[in-house]
């Protein structure tokens, strides 16, 4: 292992600055043949910047990258590919309307040539699929594939180009536990064939499962490098955040009366996204209901329904009696707090100020408007209150919200929906993309709201989050809802099977 010829990639004091921010500060790292190195770090620690430098999307201000002993020319994805570096991006770089084979072949042949025969290319893809356990049909349109299959296409793309080094950016973020296992099996085959892997993640248990070594980043610096066998998840976590952070521990709930009941609700499919299929669900006061599932399995329809954006096609929704009418404004009137899945697209308006964003949902209420005129003083007071009570770090209520970090933006949204004292809280991916500190804060606020008697529906793709927070867990698959499982009654693997669609057939 100490033979220097084994080193396939060496990063030497890579530094990258964006204005005043140093995203990567003299990062050095070595990757050897047949080795899996995990790059661990919180959001904002500089992992993505480093990867973009490796792959040529950014040019480093300082430092150099060597691949197989040769310096890698900066700012050029083509050079990285030619050197044998293949990258599996977190946001897949696939063209949906092209076939799997076309996506794989793209850019592999000289543009001015006639191109190799499709049959030869297909045979090669088939062989790679078999060798690495990456089952996917070469003639399928990428748009029709599941997320797991798309990831296989991304890996095939790299293997097709004879990549010797694979860089995977948060590869399991979108997978079920079973799909993640299949991915790990593929990666193990790749290692056995002498490939090297740089694995970027913030999920500790995965890192412990697959990596030989871990390099931990914090604030753009390497703060530790350890052999996985000689460390523990807790030690790595402490290294990542620079100290112990106690995640909130929920006390058992005391569920009260049903605040909202869905009975046999069906909604139409929306393009590729399934609608709800005869969903029956109770939301009770003082209880957190966790909704697990791979994204795109009907969670959006359920969130839209509760938010007032869509109406049930059949079945009934009751809140203190059947709903007479249902609209987003009616949902707000009925005391439903909505924390949307995408805080940038649907949660806020980027170029509005904090004050304007704070009253987006309630500007029409008597407190904020009089006789059709906005009461901006009251609105600003409301925003000031949220900034103080929810610790929103910002230049002031008049600042545009796009200047805020994700965590601070989410705190403002939390304040906006929680301040009026809601009965039901719809939290759709409330901590996605936040750092550990902000996650702890958001989760503790949700628990506090539950303890205050609110019903919480927590939708998340992160099974750990669901299992840690929810009092009752449902799983969604293709628009169907599993029965409710009380906290602790199912293991992650068992829930994973439900996520993959098993169990529904035997279920009542």
Partner 1 sequence: MSDLFDILLSVSFWAAAIRIASPLIFATMGELICERAGVLNLGIEGIMVIGAFAGWMAVYLGAPLWLGVTAAMAAGMLFGLLHATLTVPFGLSQHVVGLGVTMLATSTSYFAYRLALPEVTSPPKITPFAPMDLPVLSDIPFFGPVLFQQTALTWAALICAGLVGFVLFRTPLGLAVRAAGENPAAVEAQGLSVTGLRMGAVIVGSGLMAVGGSFLTLSAFSSFFFEMVNGRGWICIALVVFGAWRPGKAVLGALLFAAFDALQIRLQQTPLGAHLPYQAFLMAPYLLSILALILMSRRAEVPAALMVPYRKGER
Q: Is 346 left (phi over 0), alpha (psi -120 to 50) or beta?
A: alpha
**Residue with tokens 């010829």, as numbered in its chain:** 5
Q: Reduce the secondary structure of 408-444 to three states and give it as a string.
A: HHHHHHHHHHHCCCCCEEEEECCCCCCCHHHHHHHHH
Q: Is 80 in the site for partner 1 (CB under 8 A)?
A: yes
Q: CB of 480: closest distance to partner 1 in angstroms?
A: 29
Q: 2, 5, 19, 113: which one contacts partner 1 (CB under 8 A)?
A: 113
Q: Is 87 in the site for partner 1 (CB under 8 A)?
A: yes
Q: Is 103 in the site for partner 1 (CB under 8 A)?
A: yes
Q: Is 345 in the site for partner 1 (CB under 8 A)?
A: no
**Residue range at the interface with partner 1 (CB under 8 A); choices 55-63, 381-389, 402-410, 490-498:** 55-63
Token pair recorded at residue 258: 């049903």
Q: Is 194 in the site for partner 1 (CB under 8 A)?
A: no
Q: Is 93 in the site for partner 1 (CB under 8 A)?
A: yes
Say if CB 61 and CB 55 are below 8 A apart.
no
Q: Is 343 in the site for partner 1 (CB under 8 A)?
A: no
Q: 13, 78, 333, 402: which one contacts partner 1 (CB under 8 A)?
A: 78
Rounded to 5 degrees, φ, ψ at 455 are -95, 130
Q: Is 163 in the site for partner 1 (CB under 8 A)?
A: no
Cα 31 to Cα 36: distance, rounded to the nearest angstrom: 8
Q: Is 54 in the site for partner 1 (CB under 8 A)?
A: no
Residues in the chain: 508
Report the chain's terminal Cα–Cα distance, integer Å.
55
Q: 2, 4, 20, 110: which one contacts partner 1 (CB under 8 A)?
A: 110
CB atoms within 10 A of CB 119: 8
**Residue range at the interface with partner 1 (CB under 8 A); choices 24-32, 113-121, 325-333, 411-419:** 113-121
Cα 86 to Cα 77: distance, rounded to the nearest angstrom: 10
Q: CB of 113: closest distance to partner 1 in angstroms?
A: 6
Q: CB of 197: closest distance to partner 1 in angstroms?
A: 18
Greatest Cα-to-Cα distance within the chain, rounded to the nearest angstrom: 79
Rounded to 5 degrees, φ, ψ at 39 are -105, 110
Which letter does DSSP use for residue 168 in this model?
E
Say if CB 297 and CB 477 are below 8 A apart.
yes
Q: Is 117 in the site for partner 1 (CB under 8 A)?
A: no
Q: 14, 81, 155, 438: which one contacts partner 1 (CB under 8 A)?
A: 81
**Residue range at the interface with partner 1 (CB under 8 A); choices 70-78, 185-193, 343-351, 374-382:** 70-78
Q: Is 195 in the site for partner 1 (CB under 8 A)?
A: no
Say if CB 416 and CB 390 are below 8 A apart.
no
Binders in 131-160 for partner 1, by CB under 8 A: 157
**Residue range at the interface with partner 1 (CB under 8 A); choices 53-61, 250-258, 379-387, 459-467:** 53-61
Token pair recorded at residue 157: 């793309």
Q: CB of 147: closest distance to partner 1 in angstroms?
A: 16
Q: 26, 98, 140, 241: which one contacts partner 1 (CB under 8 A)?
A: 98
Among residues 40, 15, 11, which one has the least CA distance to residue 28? 11
Binding site for partner 1 (CB under 8 A): 52, 55, 57-58, 76-82, 87, 89, 91, 93-98, 102-103, 105-115, 157
């Amino acid at each position: 292992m100490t033979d220097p010829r084994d080193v396939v990639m060496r990063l030497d004091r890579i530094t990258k600055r964006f204005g005043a921010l140093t995203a990567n500060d003299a990062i050095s790292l070595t990757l050897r043949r047949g080795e899996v190195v995990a790059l661990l770090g919180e959001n904002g620690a500089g992992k993505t910047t480093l990867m973009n430098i490796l792959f040529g999307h950014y040019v480093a201000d300082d430092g150099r990258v060597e691949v197989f002993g040769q310096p890698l020319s900066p700012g050029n994805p083509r050079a990285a590919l030619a050197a044998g570096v293949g990258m599996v991006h977190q946001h897949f770089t696939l063209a949906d309307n092209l076939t799997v084979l076309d996506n794989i072949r793209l850019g592999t042949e000289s543009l001015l040539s006639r191109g190799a025969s499709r049959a030869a290319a297909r045979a090669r893809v088939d062989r790679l699929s078999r060798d690495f356990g990456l089952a996917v049909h070469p003639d399928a349109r990428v748009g029709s594939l599941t997320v797991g299959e798309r990831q296989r296409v991304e890996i095939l793309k790299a293997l097709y180009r004879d990549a010797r080094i694979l860089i995977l950016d948060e590869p399991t973020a979108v997978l079920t536990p079973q799909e993640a296992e299949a991915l790990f099996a593929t990666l193990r085959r790749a290692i056995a064939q002498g490939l090297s892997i740089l694995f970027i993640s913030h999920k500790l248990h995965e890192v412990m499962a697959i990596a030989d070594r871990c390099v931990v980043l914090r604030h753009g610096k390497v703060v530790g490098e350890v052999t996985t066998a000689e460390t523990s998840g807790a030690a790595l976590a402490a290294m990542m955040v620079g100290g112990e952070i106690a995640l909130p521990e929920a006390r058992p709930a005391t569920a009260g009366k049903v605040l909202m009941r869905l009975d046999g609700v069906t909604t139409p499919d929306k393009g590729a996204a399934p609608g709800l299929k005869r969903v029956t669900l109770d939301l009770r006061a003082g209880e957190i209901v966790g909704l697990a599932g791979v994204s795109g399995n009907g969670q959006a329809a359920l969130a839209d329904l509760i938010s007032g954006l869509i109406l049930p096609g059949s079945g009934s929704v009751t809140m203190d009696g059947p709903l007479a009418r249902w609209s987003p404004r009616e949902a707000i009137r009925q005391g439903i707090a909505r924390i949307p899945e995408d805080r940038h697209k649907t949660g806020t308006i980027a170029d509005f100020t904090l004050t304007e964003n704070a009253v987006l949902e309630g500007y029409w209420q008597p407190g904020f408007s009089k006789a059709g005129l906005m009461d901006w003083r009251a609105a600003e007071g409301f925003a000031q209150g949220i900034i103080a009570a929810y610790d929103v770090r910002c230049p002031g209520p008049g600042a545009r919200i796009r200047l805020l970090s994700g965590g601070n933006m989410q705190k403002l949204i939390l304040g906006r929906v929680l301040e009026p004292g809601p009965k039901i809280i719809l939290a759709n991916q409330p901590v996605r993309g936040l750092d550990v500190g902000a996650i702890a804060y958001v989760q503790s606020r949700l628990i506090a709201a539950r303890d205050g008697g609110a019903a919480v529906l927590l939708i998340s793709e992160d099974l750990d989050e669901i299992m840690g927070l929810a009092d009752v867990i449902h799983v969604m698959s293709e628009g169907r809802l599993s029965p409710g499982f009380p906290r602790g009654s199912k293991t992650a693997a068992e829930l994973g099977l439900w996520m993959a669609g098993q169990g529904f057939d035997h279920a009542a």
